[in-house]
Structure 1
Amino acid sequence: MPPLSRPPRETRALFRNAGAALPTRHAALLERCVERRLRGPAQVLSGHHNTNHVLRLGLLPAVLVGAVPFARLKYRVPRETVEVVPRIWPREWDVLRVVCRFLPEVPRCLAVLGDNHSLHVYRGGTVLSDRGPHGRIGEGLMRQFAAFFARTAGIPAGELPPLPEDWPADGDSDGFLRRLVRFTEERVHRPHRPRFGTLFDAVGIPEDAMARFLRGLHPLTPRPFALLHTDVHRANVVVRRNRIAVIDWELALFGDPLHDLATHLVRMGYDKEEQARMTALWAEAMTRAGRAELTAALHDDLGAYLAFEYAQSVYPDVLRAALALPPHATADDFHAAAHRIGHALSRAREPLRLVDVPPEPHLIDALRHWHDAQNNPATPR
């Protein structure tokens, strides 16, 4: 009798591709097993886009998906959230099917249940943010991040899922960034203005913020496009035995690699010295990998992507800070929300051409007025 720690060879072959489709009867069995596990105690990891339940499956359901019986798995349930980037591939497992062939450390998607719930391999280790949300990470990890970006850029474009028909052409870096700006205005700012417009105005975000950003944007140098993760920050990095694995690929894009570098530099919380060092390591890794063309006009154009990251983040930061306020918010709740908004406005001051950033008492007062109006519709706005 074969050892129970490995599924039969034919089952492993059937499900070795991420997100493999299960026969109907097997999918129903797996869903029942997962539902039973969710009723019991389980570790829950929540992010902006998904709620992740860490669970273990018994022998039969584990064999069905090609997993080790009773090993930890991750069950991902999408959350309603603020869109901040275009989702050109709505199904994360379509991207993972390709990524995991080239980046074997990335946890695979084992099965898709229902419309958009999915079961993944659980990557053990320490989430980098658990070591500390701020502070230096060291040269060794920075070199690993640089290598990760070079490896990701090397994934063949022809292997990726189809792109939207109106997506910018390969190498149109200027069109790519302008597409991101247009998305921010049309899908993040405008749809939320009916509910949050008074708050946007009160905290000092100009109604023409994205137009202001575009007025200061210089034409970008064309660079070949590549697969981008777009959200490489501490909470999306698992470290095990001093090796990193980048998880959560639901926001992946195909575009200018400088955008991936810029979001990483900002969201990791690097100081100026670390940003410069990470940029140099990124360029070295790309050149060593034979992709020096991706570094064209690096120091001229990286600033534009950094400025965009600071400019666009004012919207999700204000939205999330406001939505995080409980119905009976305390002074501490308002202080924390105002601090978050003030930080976002300070970073966006130059790209949005803001005259000044309101002081924290003003931000708290703006949040209180908005919060009162939301929780007591009779309150004058």
Structure 2
Amino acid sequence: MSGDAAVVEGPLHGYHHETYVVPLPGRPGEAEPVRWKCREPRPGLLWFDRRCFASEEELLRALQGRIEGIPDLIQAGSAGLQRFIEGETLGTLYGSGGGIPSSLLGQIVSLFGQLARVRPDSLTAERTCTSVYRAAEGDSDGFLERLILFTEEEVYQRNMPDFKGLFYDLGLDGASFGKLREHVSGLTRRPFHLLHADLHRENFVVDGVGRLWTIDWELAMFGDPLYDLATHLYLMRYPRDQEDRMIEQWRRVVTPRGSDGWEKDLPKLLAFKRAQSVFTDVIRTALSLEEERTVDASLLARAGDRIQQVLNAATVPLGIKVPAPESVTAALGRWYEERAESAGVMAGAAVPGGA
């Protein structure tokens, strides 16, 4: 495409896609070349969230003119390319747990308002969610039930062959989902609209003039608007005063009735996010050990600390009793040794707590 392989950048860091950046001549009126992203899904990856649109590029094309600050698109032969947004991610500029400038907070609020105007019957992009995972319009309880069902079937049960012993050692079993359903049931009905469903600091890019761009729309879906807010708050880790401001301003821009019952339901949706993270973070943390050249006691202890934190945060919604830190570390050690032995690979170092 570029005519010079030396100017192609990549593959860029990313979990779900292999991504390359290609400079191409600008459009009329653009004197300088413009960089575009060429992406292909990585094969054989674990997906921890539903994908409800057939194509991210098709969705972005349908949202042009309706949502501000999203990547432009071009078609280069058979490849659909997204414009590479030049700037820094919000996470690079303002790390997790820190506040962000009011001007950027206002742009996020504006994004929520624009999303609220995209209703299920107003978008032509092809949707792929099966009926099993798609709730009836306004059925917030049914929407959350299908998110729980996806986590139970596609994250917990699907990965059971590889993680059964580790789940058991951490006190995670099928009964956890029954307790979770009981804890979060009884949501107020709210009209559905488009959700980004992954609004965290690395999916916002700030350009050179302070404009906020929103990227990575592959987890977008239609559903309960309060879920998008809960996911955003959970991932952003705002300081308390800024979190309160975000909630207040979000309530002003969602559709009529879009914030009904928020005081009662927001804690339930945040509890679901904490519970969901237990299963995804346990799997990701365990698999990250296999990427290390050596796994020693210090590395295991740090991985155990990460798992301990997510377990502690979800004790109430999952109804679990969290093992002691040394037991969590030992469980990880046993899992790692068993995986290494089954693959015919010797562990890089003695692992404490191993079988």
TM interval, shorter chain, is 0.7 to 0.9
Partner of 2:135: 168
Partner of 1:258: 226
Partner of 1:344: 310
TM-score normalised over the length of structure 2: 0.86
Residue 64 of structure 2 aligns to a residue whose secondary structure is helix
Choose which of 110, 127, 140 in structure 1 pairs with 2:103.
Answer: 140
CA deviation profile, 1:95-119 (whole Å, cap 9, x unmatched): 11112221242002323776xx642
In structure 2, distance between residues paired with 1:366 and 1:40: 46
Residue 52 of structure 2 aligns to a residue whose secondary structure is coil
Residue 220 of structure 1 aligns to a residue whose secondary structure is coil
Partner of 2:204: 237
**AA matched with 1:111:** Q
Choose which of 242, 248, 261 in structure 2 pairs with 1:297.
Answer: 261
In structure 2, distance between residues paired with 1:178 and 1:255: 12
Choose which of 117, 121, 131 in structure 1 pairs with 2:93.
Answer: 131
Q: Go from structure 1 to structure 2 and tell me whether the alpha carbon gap of 1:189 and 1:268 turns closer, same or farther (over 3 Å shift).
A: same
* Residue 184 of structure 2 corresponds to residue 220 of structure 1: no
* Residue 85 of structure 2 corresponds to residue 149 of structure 1: no
Q: Go from structure 1 to structure 2 and tell me whether the alpha carbon gap of 1:214 and 1:340 turns closer, same or farther (over 3 Å shift).
A: same
| Offset, 1:254 | 0.6
Tell me whether 73-82 or 240-249 shows the greater mean CA deviation. 73-82
Partner of 1:316: 280
Structure 2: gaps spanning 5 or more residues:
347-353
Partner of 1:363: 328
Residue 93 of structure 1 aligns to a residue whose secondary structure is helix
Partner of 1:269: 237
Aligned ranges 1:86-105 → 2 under 5 Å? 86-105=50-69
Tell me whether 247-256 or 369-378 shows the greater mean CA deviation. 369-378
Partner of 2:33: 70
In structure 2, distance between residues paired with 1:248 and 1:331: 36
Q: Go from structure 1 to structure 2 and tell me whether the alpha carbon gap of 1:56 and 1:300 turns closer, same or farther (over 3 Å shift).
A: same
| Offset, 1:149 | 0.8
**AA matched with 1:121:** R
| Offset, 1:256 | 0.5
Residue 45 of structure 1 aligns to a residue whose secondary structure is coil
**AA matched with 1:179:** R
* Residue 341 of structure 2 corresponds to residue 376 of structure 1: yes
In structure 2, distance between residues paired with 1:179 and 1:68: 49
Asked whether the equivalents of residues 43 and 55 of structure 1 are also in contact (C-alpha less than 8 Å), the reply is no
TM-score normalised over the length of structure 1: 0.81
Asked whether the equivalents of residues 90 and 250 of structure 1 are also in contact (C-alpha less than 8 Å), the reply is no
In structure 2, distance between residues paired with 1:298 and 1:47: 34
In structure 2, distance between residues paired with 1:311 and 1:185: 11
Asked whether the equivalents of residues 66 and 110 of structure 1 are also in contact (C-alpha less than 8 Å), the reply is no
In structure 1, distance between residues paired with 2:32 and 2:53: 31
* Residue 306 of structure 2 corresponds to residue 335 of structure 1: no
CA deviation profile, 1:63-96 (whole Å, cap 9, x unmatched): 7x99977321112222243222221213111211
Aligned ranges 1:34-49 → 2 under 5 Å? 37=5, 42-49=9-16
| Offset, 1:276 | 2.5
**AA matched with 2:99:** R
Partner of 1:122: 84
Partner of 1:178: 145
In structure 2, distance between residues paired with 1:338 and 1:113: 48
| Offset, 1:269 | 1.6
**AA matched with 2:303:** A
In structure 2, distance between residues paired with 1:87 and 1:262: 19
Alpha-carbon RMSD across the aligned residues, in angstroms, is: 2.6
CA deviation profile, 1:167-211 (whole Å, cap 9, x unmatched): 212111111110111111011110001101111122232332211
Q: Go from structure 1 to structure 2 and tell me whether the alpha carbon gap of 1:187 and 1:45 turns closer, same or farther (over 3 Å shift).
A: same
CA deviation profile, 1:33-52 (whole Å, cap 9, x unmatched): 58x63x66625432332233
Asked whether the equivalents of residues 237 and 247 of structure 1 are also in contact (C-alpha less than 8 Å), the reply is yes
In structure 1, distance between residues paired with 2:20 and 2:331: 37
CA deviation profile, 1:280-300 (whole Å, cap 9, x unmatched): 1211222xxxx2310111111
* Residue 75 of structure 2 corresponds to residue 108 of structure 1: no
